[in-house]
Chains A and B, each alone.
Chain A
Amino acid sequence: MSEIIMRLWRGDANGGSFQEYRVPAQEGEVVLDVVHRIQATQAGDLAVRWNCKAGKCGSCSAEVNGKPRLMCMTRMAELPLDQPITIAPMRTFPIMKDLVTDVRFNFEVAKRVPPFAPPPRQPDGTYRMFQEDIDRAQEFHKCIECFLCQDVCHVIRDHEENKARYAGPRFFVRFAELEMHPLDTNDRRLLLKERMGLGMCNITKCCTEVCPEEIHITDNAIIPLKERAVDATYDPLAFIIRKIARRKRPLPAEEAQASAIVTTPLSELADGHGDAKKAKAKA
């Protein structure tokens, strides 16, 4: 069989470059298989994340020939193999090493999402919900947290400074799943508008295009959230109804007791990005 040329980005936070690897082509492979073969035979220290290899865990996100994809779901046969195939790490996140990026930003945003708050159960101990009422929210539960939508989002892709005030498409999906959960009693609309940067999204639909789960991020999550956020602020009738119904609580406090999610202590990272507080050892 013929030979494939792969150009993989190698390096760390201090810099790096694309390096070329030549491997024999094999039938039925996906990009991740080829990367693994290079790792096993030519570059033992090549860093790459992966887990399920079936498009279910969202670990192996990268930019394949410039397009954000899951490497495990990108078949070699669909790529132009007469040219070198370029694999780069996701651009929106700081480089850790090779194809592995520092995605902690996402785990930090996750901590700021006010939790699901259900009412008490029915007298028979159950919650009753009908399938047609949960179809909408179930779409958002398909999210595998590959963060490709975050990677491709213009608001943060080349604007590190926006990350402090913008949650990104993945978290608009998370907010939408909570807001559209038939049982939830929390109200996150003002929070979305005022602290999560919902207004900064200008609906270019890039996130929807790259979603491997085919979640209609823009149409089904972001646009309805924007409409709701507007309602929350400007619709006096809705405001009064809400007050009377008292189903929803206004602007919940962000979680006081959020967890620390850390990887290597930041003090040890070459560029020292992120929030140094997070890394403080508990000891």
Chain B
Amino acid sequence: MADYEQRDYDVLVIGAGGAGLRAAIEARTEGVSVGLVCKSLLGKAHTVMAEGGIAAAMGNVYPEDNWKVHFRDTMRGGKMINNWRMAQLHAQEAPDRVMELEEWGALFDRTADGRILQRDFGGHRYARLAHVGDRTGLEMIRTLQHRAVQSGIDVMMECKVYRLLKDDDGTVSGAVAYWRESGRFIVIRSKAVVLATGGVGKSWKITSNSWESTGDGHALAIWAGADMIDMEFVQFHPTGMVWPPSVRGLLVTEGVRGDGGVLRNRDGKRFMFDYIPPMFAAETADTEEEAERWYTDRQGARRPPDLLPRDEVARAINAEVKAGRGSPHGGVFLDIGSRRSADYIKRRLPSMYKQFKELADVDITVDPMEVGPTCHYIMGGVRVDAETAATTVPGLFAAGEVAGGMHGANRLGGNSLSDLVVFGRRAGLAAANYAKQRNLATFSDKLIEEITTAALSPFSSEGGENPYTIHAELQDMMQSLVGIIRTHDELVQAEEHLARFKERLGRVSIEGNRQFNPGWHMALDLESMLTVSTAVTMAALERKESRGGHTRDDYPQPDPELGKLNMVIRFSGEPPFRGEMSVTPEPIPEMPDELKALFEEQQH
């Protein structure tokens, strides 16, 4: 008989970043019992690395800002393929969620009249990001963490969910997890499950993501049979560090550009003026003179092209480097030191200053940074109902990066932190209400034993594959074949590689025992990474156009017809790889006329 511990909750939340914490708090407020599982210690989730701010049309700096402008920016940034209702709810509710964080103790930087200060970011028409220097994510996670701990939520730290459990009628009713420390199993029964597991970046070599971002929630949803949308849209943040190799991919906040930094190539040229796409031409400055004027004259000048949405800037940098106009280590230059005072830079961007000083010997108040694209965020994820964050599988909810639709083909900076709290709250509320209608399910020992036996199988072979080697090779492969620029032939090659990786993972063997064994954890995380990588590759093959975070060299233009479709990934079979994954184009929900009108109005 399987040896495991059991716990029961009304709502199980998987992941303790911004979305998971916010969901847990809301569910607890509804009076249900809540268990919160996280792979790391509490407070270390990837949210902590968010830098620039949280987007919310509060109008503190520009009173003319409102949810309609934010909504329009979000949809245009997402190349109009976003779930319009999610984008609308997000824009409408973000200001309340920011105020709520303040009420719970967050200390945002202030305006001169004592309100929350907002900063400029790419793709946002007005200065809209509430922030704390360049460590906004830390402020947010700590605020939510304190709130969660005080509200009586059970936090299961350093615990990984390996499989979801369904009851007889197919409702998600719990999970099998293991404690990372002891390697022992725990069966968590619950009446509803919220996925809030974040992203998938660890499948790429150059990434801003931590070890946790292995797409566990995406994979759990796929295995549970949930619809996945937009998986082809992966955001490469334009500015990651490129040197030294140890820090390659580490994020350099967009706030550097929001606060006056500009991109230059090897020749010192501000190359972004050569890459202004027609969609944004009407609102982007086309001379350096106008761009400079914008910092002090918002009415009389248009925005610098350095602040175009991330997909545009990442592609531009990629093109400059390919054309041989890059910096010595294969990036471009990001210069704020020659443009702003040292005091200003240290006050606005303290952690960037420290990061470059300590890790790269670069004083950013004097010298330019070398930056290049880094895999940062996946727009795609579990298809959810905008109001309730319910997935297409009963009992399963999803919020934050693991959910798809909100950001369409490309996410604007600052819209992630707001997404986490807006939809984290909605998911927690809906999951609690769902749980109130349900009873706990029971699971046979046989079922649990099958699952735990599978999890332990890497221990039973010797002299097999090293999980770290498979991971490193997967990262190289995804970087080169499913990266920023994609082609049909390379995507087909990627599928072949993925099939071989799956085979090799079956032959993996692990040193040591179950006690805090990162090699074993890697082997199990690879099941998620390979599943998610397959979904991304399949969706990327199917979308024969270029749009947002999906660029096809063989189809370089957007196709208006494809702009009306989501690529929907479905899987039927047994986790991790026994079954069929399919991709089906399906129409995106149509926007009501009154919202459509927002895009037809003259905006400048």
The chain A residues found within 8 Å of chain B, CB to CB, are 12, 26-30, 33, 39-41, 43-59, 73, 75, 96-98, 100, 103, 107, 110-111, 113, 115-116, 118, 121, 125-131, 134, 137-138, 141-145, 178, 181, 184, 255, 257-265, 268-269, 281-283
Contact = CB atoms under 8 A, between A and B. Distances in A.
B243 to A, nearest CB: 7
A281 B7 contact: yes
Contacts of A55: 351, 354-355, 358
B99 interface: yes
A57 B511 contact: no
A129 B40 contact: no
B107 interface: yes
Contacts of B48: 51-52, 56-57, 144
Interface in B508-542: 510-513, 515-520
Contacts of A178: 105
Given A44-B467, A263-B179, 4 more contacts: A100-B516, A130-B110, A259-B154, A269-B182
27 contacts: A28-B244, A39-B468, A39-B518, A44-B511, A45-B513, A45-B518, A47-B515, A50-B211, A51-B40, A51-B44, A51-B210, A52-B46, A54-B250, A57-B48, A59-B41, A75-B358, A98-B516, A129-B110, A131-B109, A131-B110, A141-B107, A255-B150, A259-B152, A263-B157, A263-B179, A264-B184, A282-B33
Given A111-B149, A141-B142, A56 B135 contact: yes
Contacts of B40: 49, 51, 59
Given A45-B512, A73-B359, A116-B105, A54 B181 contact: no
Interface size class of B (residues with CB under 8 A): 35 or more
Contact of B246 (A33, A40, A103): A33
Contact of B210 (A41, A47, A57, A141): A57
B159 interface: yes
A144 B182 contact: no
Contacts of B512: 44-45
Given A54-B49, A54-B250, A100-B516, A282 B154 contact: yes
Interface in B449-493: 466-469, 472
A257 B518 contact: no
A258 B152 contact: yes
Contact of B148 (A40, A142, A259): A259
B480 to A, nearest CB: 20
Contact of B156 (A50, A56, A262): A262
Interface in B307-361: 351, 354-355, 358-359
Given A128-B115, A257-B151, A282-B8, A28 B210 contact: no
A44 B132 contact: no
Contacts of A145: 43
A274 to B, nearest CB: 13
Given A44-B512, A49-B41, A116-B105, A134 B519 contact: no
Contacts of A52: 44, 46, 48-49, 210
A180 to B, nearest CB: 10
A30 B359 contact: yes
Contacts of A259: 148-155
B62 interface: no
B580 interface: no
B210 A12 contact: no
A12 B151 contact: no
Nearest to A50: B211
Contacts of B42: 107, 261
B251 to A, nearest CB: 8
B41 A258 contact: no
A261 to B, nearest CB: 4
A1 to B, nearest CB: 13
A98 B246 CA distance: 23
A17 to B, nearest CB: 16
Given A12-B515, A53-B210, A128-B113, A58 B104 contact: no
Contacts of B9: 282
A181 B105 contact: yes
B245 A26 contact: yes
Interface in B237-268: 243-247, 250-251
Nearest to A43: B511
Given A26-B245, A44-B468, A110 B179 contact: no
B295 to A, nearest CB: 20
A264 to B, nearest CB: 4
Contact of A47 (B133, B142, B516): B516
A283 B6 contact: yes
Contacts of A143: 142
Contacts of B182: 264-265, 268-269
A12 B181 CA distance: 11
Given A56-B135, A115-B146, A125 B99 contact: yes
B227 interface: no
B2 to A, nearest CB: 15
B300 interface: no
B138 A144 contact: yes
B5 interface: yes
B102 interface: yes
Interface string B137-180: 01100100011111111111111000000000000000000011
A116 B359 contact: no
Chain A CB within 10 Å, residue with most, of B113, B149, B153, B212? B149
A44 B510 contact: yes
Contacts of B150: 111, 115, 255, 257-259
Contacts of A142: 135, 138
B107 A47 contact: no
A56 B152 contact: no
A260 B110 contact: no
B561 interface: no
Contact of A257 (B110, B152, B155): B152
A202 B194 CA distance: 46
